[in-house]
């Protein structure tokens, strides 16, 4: 991974303003939309089953992506997610899936597996416990939080990547990105990021923006996670706590430039 390659994707996002169609949870709609705007993408939060296919077609027409986040589930939302994913798969719109809380309840786990079977995504991003549970490895969760480090989920991630043909991202102190043939680690980030709700969901949304401009899902995921972590580090320097951390993260993401990337990416 090189700073200039990441920067090329950032510039592409800022110049094209790709539409990122999100079917995401109530908790993070505002924060993920603001993060997408800050990086230069164009977010839309549309989850009505009656319109998701039309929204996917708009994304297809303008070179966008679909982000699915199962954080706040309901029967209607699951139907909308599956409908949107099938439409995106047919229209070759990249799909990014965030299996929030998988392993906490059977309903979540079965829902995520059913969605993957219906329309395999290009990228799956979750914490270690979620990835382990999704791959049928023994995993412990604390609600939607992980009880494992990212490295503990490596074998599960490889199994999931093989079974789904997706790039798998395991978030943690060091993020792992792999697809079975390639593997990358991102050691960027700051512990204060874990004190702000929805930071993982924000990472997933950013992958959606990068996947819209980079046809290689592996590179898109790696570049997005690097940007997420580096901006988190820079924001933490300015922040005095979780509240200002979120504010500074958006500012840093908006003002990101090549010098910031070159300073951190070897």
User: DSSP class of residue 193?
Assistant: G
The model's pLDDT over 142-179, given as tens digits with 9 standing for 90+, comes to 444 444 455 788 999 999 999 999 999 999 999 999 99
Instruction: State the pLDDT at residue 146.
Output: 46
How many CB atoms lie under 10 A from the CB of residue 183?
15
pTM tops 0.75: yes
Rounded Cα distance, 156 and 146, in Å: 14
The model's pLDDT over 47-89, given as tens digits with 9 standing for 90+, comes to 999 999 999 999 999 999 999 999 999 999 999 999 999 999 9
Rounded Cα distance, 254 and 263, in Å: 17
How many CB atoms lie under 10 A from the CB of residue 241?
10
Residue 227 clears pLDDT 90, i.e. is over it: yes
Residue 14 clears pLDDT 90, i.e. is over it: yes
To the nearest whole number, what is the mean pLDDT of the chain?
A: 93
Instruction: State the pLDDT at residue 144.
Output: 47
Q: Tell me the domains of the chain and their CATH numbers.
A: 3-261 (3.40.1190.20)
The model's pLDDT over 86-126, given as tens digits with 9 standing for 90+, comes to 999 999 999 999 999 999 999 999 999 999 999 999 999 99
Section 204-218 average pLDDT: 98
DSSP string for residues in 37-96: HHHT-EEEE---TTTHHHHHHHHHHHT-EEEEE-SS--HHHHHHHHHHHHHHHHHT--EE
Section 193-220 average pLDDT: 97
């Amino acid at each position: 991974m090189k700073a200039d390659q990441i920067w090329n994707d950032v510039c592409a996002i800022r110049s094209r303003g790709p539409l990122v169609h999100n079917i995401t949870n109530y908790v993070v709609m505002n924060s993920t939309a603001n993060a997408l705007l800050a990086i230069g993408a164009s977010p839309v939060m549309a989850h009505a089953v009656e319109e998701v296919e039309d929204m996917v077609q708009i994304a297809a027409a303008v070179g966008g992506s679909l982000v699915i986040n199962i954080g706040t589930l309901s029967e209607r939302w699951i139907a909308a997610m599956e409908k949107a994913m099938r439409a995106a798969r047919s229209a070759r719109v990249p799909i990014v899936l965030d299996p929030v809380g998988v392993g906490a309840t059977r309903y979540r786990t079965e829902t995520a597996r059913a969605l993957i079977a219906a329309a395999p995504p290009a990228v799956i991003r979750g914490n270690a416990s979620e990835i382990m549970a999704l791959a049928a490895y023994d995993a412990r969760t604390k609600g939607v939080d992980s009880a494992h480090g990212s490295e503990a989920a490596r074998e599960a991630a490889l199994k999931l990547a093989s079974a789904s043909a997706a790039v798998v991202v395991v978030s943690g102190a060091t993020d792992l990105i792999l697809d079975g043939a390639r593997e990358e680690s991102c050691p960027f980030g700051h512990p204060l990021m874990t004190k702000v709700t929805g930071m993982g969901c924000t990472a997933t949304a950013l992958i959606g923006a990068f996947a819209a401009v980079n046809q290689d899902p592996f590179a898109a995921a790696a570049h997005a996670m690097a940007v997420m972590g580096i901006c988190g580090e820079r924001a933490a320097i300015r922040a005095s706590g979780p509240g200002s951390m979120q504010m500074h993260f958006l500012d840093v993401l908006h003002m990101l430039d090549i010098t910031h990337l070159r300073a951190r990416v070897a």
